[in-house]
Amino acid sequence: MQPEVDAGRASVVVVDNCSTDGSREAVRSEYPWAELMEPSENLGFGAGVNAAAARTGGTWLAAANADIELTPGALEAMIEASEADPSVGAIAPRLIMGDGATQHSVHSFPSPSLALTVGLGLHRVSRAFADRLCIEGSWDADRARRVDWAHGAFLLLRRESFEQVGGFDERQWMYAEDIDLAWRLAEMGHAVRYEPGARVRHAVSASTLQAFGEDGREQRHIAAAYDWLERRRGRAVARLTAAISTLAAGVRFAVFAPLGRIAPRRWGAARERARRYVSAHRLGLRSRGHTT
């Protein structure tokens, strides 16, 4: 980001959520061009972005994880894409993982119909249909388009739109805050756009994998999605989505479990993935008590 700061195109605010790994000292010594905020508690991602937004001006606001790096021209490409679509409230770049592959980072909103489509494998009937739904493994990462929601690892947000919807909902303390923001933007007529020409490097889940492990990270992410689904779309929709997803994962586990025992090298990973999905989606069947 320093070239953008030096050119006067951006200012940077780093919100340190009570880190103990030397991050604050590193910001002070290595990135003096960034403003450091040190709240007395861990605010969570959404609240941290809201706090930083309140300290800045400008037409655009970039919400970013600590594990991203912009490639040259990425910011300009996203702003240029916005000029072609004035109703866009958020722009998502192509996220590039450590091995150079494109991360699957755009999705449809969770719903019973989406869970049924994926559970029954209906998206395999048509590649164009799967691409429209942004199904992992079947989407065209080179096609710019409007999407329901995109990962919040890096999002360029039109400040006017962001402020109109009240910023991030701070009740989504960790995970699903990006789904929630996109949902509220859509309700106000602001679209989310994916721009593959803007490339941002992403060390995927570097912190959360260390903190929670693969199982814990995945379960927390899915549980947060069901929290959001129940709050925004109601308990019945959340429970139905969870029931369909749990049943579909259970069927896959029933198929892969014996195969995994017979040929663990070939089928063991599929069995383990199905087991994790059963465990994670069952969390959506629990009552959360949300009323709004």
Which of 150, 180, 204 is a domain's end point?
204
Q: What is the pLDDT of residues 164-191, one digit of tens each?
A: 999 999 888 778 999 999 999 999 999 9
* Residue 292 to residue 226: CA distance in whole angstroms: 14
- pLDDT on residue 1: 67
- pLDDT on residue 290: 44
User: Position of tokens 């709050």?
Assistant: 231
Task: Evaluate whether residue 11 is within a structural domain.
Answer: no
217 and 200 within one domain: no
221 and 196 within one domain: no
- pLDDT on residue 5: 75
197 and 219 within one domain: no
Which of 149, 179, 204 is a domain's end point?
204
The answer to whether the beta carbons of residues 192 and 146 sit under 8 Å apart is yes
The answer to whether the beta carbons of residues 63 and 155 sit under 8 Å apart is yes
The answer to whether the beta carbons of residues 92 and 99 sit under 8 Å apart is no
* Residue 178 to residue 173: CA distance in whole angstroms: 11
pTM of the shown model: 0.87
- pLDDT on residue 214: 54
96 and 183 within one domain: yes
- pLDDT on residue 166: 95
Domain assignment of residue 261, given as a range: 212-285
- The tally of domains found in the chain comes to 2
Low-confidence ranges of the chain (pLDDT < 70): 1, 4, 9, 205-217, 287-292
Task: Evaluate whether residue 2 is within a structural domain.
Answer: no
- pLDDT on residue 15: 87
- pLDDT on residue 26: 83
